[in-house]
Amino acid sequence: MLTIYLSRLIGVVALIIAIAMLADKAMVIAAVRRLGEDRAALLLLGFIRVACGAGIVLIHNVWSKGFWPLVVTLTGWALLVRGVMVLLVPPDVMASLTASAHVVDFYYLYSAIPLVLGAYLTLRGFSAPTAAPEAVAAAPATRQPGKRR
């Protein structure tokens, strides 16, 4: 159930980001350039990425239940690692990393990443069967270790 919820959340957010990127290329490129020059904005972005990534990793660190849950887990780890990088890597190194990414040259590739990720996770999340509330309530309680009945 958690994979379904996170898949829907990440998928919809990624689709919105991709659509915004495709709708106004000039604005996004200008924002990326300005962001590289504004250390305070980068720190804020790093805090947000770390919080979101750590939240996903702490509640959904699933590596062995198929491709779909793995994509959700890897998305959380990617957010966490990128957030930590923004917070800990010196600004001049971060600027050279950003420059080496060639955002202008590969813009449509970079916008395709959240588009494909968002489409996949949204489709999987909203097409997944969910258990009816009655079935969850009727499920037998599992025995906890150390407790006797």
pLDDT digits (tens, 9 = 90+) for 52-98: 999 999 999 999 888 999 999 999 999 999 999 989 988 788 778 87
| Domain range annotation of the chain | 2-128
Instruction: Look up residue 105 and give its DSSP letter.
Output: T
Question: Are the C-beta atoms of 111 and 21 separated by less than 8 Å?
Answer: yes
Question: Are the C-beta atoms of 117 and 75 separated by less than 8 Å?
Answer: yes
pLDDT at 12 over 90: yes
pTM: 0.78
pLDDT-derived band at 51 (thresholds 50, 70, 90) equals very high
Instruction: Report d(CA 104, CA 131) in Å as an integer.
Output: 45
The answer for residues whose C-beta is within 8 angstroms of residue 135's C-beta and 6 or more apart is none
Instruction: Report d(CA 134, CA 143) in Å as an integer.
Output: 20
Closest CA to 32 of 112, 119, 105, 118: 105
The H or E element spanning position 83 is helix 67-88
pLDDT at 139 over 90: no
pLDDT digits (tens, 9 = 90+) for 97-119: 877 888 888 999 999 999 999 99
Closest CA to 59 of 11, 1, 16: 1
